[in-house]
Amino acid sequence: MKALCRTALWVTAALAMTSASWAKTQIALNLQPEVASGPVTLGDVARITSGEAGMVERLSAVRIGTAPLPGASRVVSLNSILLALRQHGLNPDLMEITPRGDITLTTHCNRILGAELLEKARELVLAALPYSPDAVQILAKNLPEEIVVDPGDVAVSVVVQPNEDFIGYTFLTFDITVNGQLKRRVSLHLQVSVTAEVAVAAGNIQRGQVLSAADVVFEPRDLATTGGPCVTSLDEIVGMRARVGFRQGQLLVARMLEAPPAVQRGDAVVLQAVAGCVLISAPAVAKQDGRVGDRILVRNQATGKELTARIIDKSTVRVDVRATPARLEGDAS
């Protein structure tokens, strides 16, 4: 009987000592931790202290869940944490756990604000356009609030469409890499407005009219709404010829203007033919309009024959090198 009593007292004392030791174990939970990708352990989300040897290591290794995708969140309930402790042979009732609440996990990530992409787009557009920044307005049609990618060394590059003029509707692609690997490709639709002084007709302009400074005035317009490259300086106008007629106040678009021909139909020209060191020339009349370098039809006044010649300047044309001086028979040399 005495032996039985001694055994009971020993067990009671051992339990008391164990309870006292575990009671010294404290788990301070972080209810909103940011964790790395992969498995999440209690040590990732709590500060653990204990008077029992090896207890901190045992508790820290208890797996309580898996990290969410970068930028996402996941709730781990307190009950699931207590269950995980019991499954590892640990009694949470003998530990001090504070605060007693659910944990919301988020994963380490890089966050790129949509405003950062817009600023990169603005820098690119302003560098490409020969206008004051104050004259350029850029609106994004589908700007994301933020883009979330994996942690690491982030780089952002811009892909520009071929022949992009950056006025009006513009489409840009941003390639986002992490540690050199492409992680996201973001498309951005921009509306670029540029206000500039452009030429409009000061009065009615006839087709074929050679323009002077008095024929135009300059007014502020949005280049995105003009329908083509506009004329923005007098140097682009004076001496040019209107390909079409313009009404007073109508915008002058560059493609509607042309340099006047060096030679016009009916002009008297000198027709030349070169054979080796011999140059033969004869008077001729242009049968077509043309600019320097164009080939036009001319009539040799001496022979009455018509042939094709290349315009050298406003008063000289030259026959093709395959032509022979014999064709200019009767010409003066």
Q: How far is CA 242 from CA 233, 236, 257, 261, in A?
A: 16, 12, 5, 12
Compute how many other C-beta atoms are within 10 angstroms of the C-beta atom of residue 85.
Answer: 21
Better-predicted residue by pLDDT, 3 or 190: 190
Task: Report yes or no on 250 lying in a domain.
Answer: yes
Instruction: Give the DSSP letter of residue 55.
Output: H
3-class secondary-structure state, position 36: coil
Domain hosting 223: range is 195-258
Domain-ending residue, one of 258, 279, 308? 258
Residue-wise pLDDT for 217-238, tens only, equals: 999 999 888 877 888 889 889 9
Q: Which two tokens stand for residue 312?
A: 């050298």
> Domain containing 237 — which CATH number?
3.90.1210.10
Claim to verify: residue 184 and residue 219 sit in the same structural domain = no
Domain-ending residue, one of 258, 279, 310? 258
Claim to verify: residue 224 and residue 178 sit in the same structural domain = no
Task: Report yes or no on 263 lying in a domain.
Answer: no
Q: Which two tokens stand for residue 196?
A: 């500039």
Distance CA 184, CA 174 (A): 8
Phi and psi at residue 310, to the nearest 5°: -95, 135
Domain-ending residue, one of 48, 73, 108? 108
Claim to verify: residue 187 and residue 284 sit in the same structural domain = no
Residue 147: exposed, middle, or buried by beta-carbon count in 10 A (0-12, 13-18, 19+)? buried
Q: Is the pLDDT of residue 324 over 60?
A: no
pLDDT for the residue numbered 9: 47
Contact present, 181 and 154 (Cβ < 8 Å)? no
Claim to verify: residue 68 and residue 130 sit in the same structural domain = no
Rounded mean pLDDT of 304-311?
A: 92
Task: Report yes or no on 333 lying in a domain.
Answer: no
Residue 170: exposed, middle, or buried by beta-carbon count in 10 A (0-12, 13-18, 19+)? buried
Note the Cα 262 to chain centre separation in Å.
44
Q: What is the DSSP string of 248-275?
A: TT-B-BGGGEEPPPSB-TT-EEEEEEEE
Give how many domains the chain has, as a whole number. 4
Claim to verify: residue 54 and residue 40 sit in the same structural domain = yes
Mean pLDDT (the chain) is 87
Distance CA 284, CA 319 (A): 12
Lowest mean pLDDT among 15-19, 105-109, 172-176, 196-200: 15-19
Residue-wise pLDDT for 131-188, tens only, equals: 899 999 999 988 999 999 988 899 999 988 888 888 888 889 999 999 999 999 999 9
Q: Residue 322 — very low, low, confident or very high, per pLDDT cuts 50/70/90? A: low
Contact present, 212 and 201 (Cβ < 8 Å)? no
Q: Which two tokens stand for residue 171?
A: 């489409």
| pTM (predicted TM-score) | 0.58
Residue-wise pLDDT for 268-282, tens only, equals: 999 998 777 788 899
Claim to verify: residue 148 and residue 92 sit in the same structural domain = no
Claim to verify: residue 14 and residue 54 sit in the same structural domain = yes
Residue-wise pLDDT for 237-266, tens only, equals: 998 999 999 999 999 988 889 888 889 899
pLDDT for the residue numbered 269: 94
pLDDT for the residue numbered 161: 84
